[in-house]
Amino acid sequence: MKQDRPRVVVTRKLPDVIETRMMELFDVQLNLDDRPMSNGELVEAVKTTNVLVCTVTDRIDAALLSERGANLSLIANYGTGVDHIDIAYTRQHNIMVTNTPDVLTEDTADMTMAMLLAVPRRLTEGERRLRAGDWQGWAPTSMLGHRIYGKRLGIIGMGRIGTAVARRARGFGISIHYHNRHRVHSDTELELEATYWESLDQMLARMDMISVNCPHTPATYHLLSARRLKLLQPHCVIVNTSRGEVIDEIALTHMLIKNEIAGAGLDVFEHEPAINPKLLALNNVVLLPHMGSATYEGRVDMGEKVLINIKTFVDGHAPPDRVIGETS
């Protein structure tokens, strides 16, 4: 593609510095209200634009893309995961898709580690009790949690984020185990003293904590099914900062209610922004509003990648972050 001022539609509010640069470079329609576009607005966008800058809150499926105009040639996703985009359709119809890998790794790993600490030590439960005026002072058996030092952590998805989580966890004296589509390089295993499990079932049955760090794809939908969740030990804690669809949320909620596992930290949900009210009523869960990557620095870095991908594409070159296969 070679064009001077391509038409770009941005579906959500981005950091000011990114929007300003976009206005300088392209013919841009911004979303100043920062509300998700309706399906009708998305249809109008794909009919009239050259480049669509979308986010995880936009459903870019075949039905929407079938309404596209002749000029839509690039979907520049503001985020790493592309499970909300029909990649098969875009490939079939020669629409390029880019994303923003790497820049969210450290922020998401930080949040994962925070919840691996918060759930066993009952941090949010204690904070709620204090705010409610229900604290009568220190007592030897009050608010007892569990230490994480010496525990075994099973990481599902040893990509960039999973590896960053492992590095943090090692600093807390945690033993690293992982399941992945492919075994990581032996140097990485040696550095992290990580144990590879080809069988996810076998790993789940032996861990004290589980961190979900794999992408949502058709192959990972309900990867942690009701059957697999039953393999977890009663003292196990599970943390998910990936995608809600990877876990059977109804089955997980049922087990948490019955104390069949010790607790969970969830930053993502299967039907977000809707949250299961039964989860909201539980004390043994830490619930966050999909904020694992929510740092100012990270959001700006994401925007800069979007800018580079669009500018490179417009100049007639292959964007650096073209989505070719499944992301991790």
Q: Which residues of the chain does CATH 3.40.50.720 include?
A: 7-103+295-314, 105-287
Phi, psi of 261 (to 5 degrees): -135, 160
Choose the catalytic residue: 7, 243, 249, 270. 243
**So what's the pLDDT on residue 325?**
62
Domain 105-287 in this protein, CATH class: alpha beta
What's the token pair of residue 231?
Answer: 């393999």
- CATH entry 3.40.50.720 includes domain 7-103+295-314: yes
Give 10-residue mean pLDDT values along the chain (328 residues). 79 97 97 92 96 96 96 96 94 96 94 98 96 95 97 97 98 98 97 98 98 94 98 98 97 98 98 95 96 95 98 96 70
Question: Is-catalytic flag, 290?
Answer: yes
List 114's β-bridge partners, or say none.
none
Phi, psi of 279 (to 5 degrees): -65, -40
**So what's the pLDDT on residue 3?**
53
> How far is C-alpha 150 from the geometric centre of its chain's CA atoms?
27
What's the token pair of residue 130?
Answer: 């204090």
Q: Would you give the end-to-end CA distance of the chain in angstroms?
A: 28
**Structural contact between residues 194 and 223, judged by C-beta atoms closer than 8 angstroms:** no
Choose the catalytic residue: 290, 304, 322, 326. 290
Distance CA 235, CA 148 (A): 12
> How far is C-alpha 52 from the geometric centre of its chain's CA atoms?
21
Choose the catalytic residue: 272, 304, 322, 326. 272
Region class of 86: left (phi > 0), else alpha (psi between -120 and 50), else beta:
beta
**So what's the pLDDT on residue 327?**
42
CA distances from 4 to 1, 26, 27, 77, 223 (A): 10, 8, 9, 21, 45
> How far is C-alpha 91 from the geometric centre of its chain's CA atoms?
23
Question: Is-catalytic flag, 272?
Answer: yes
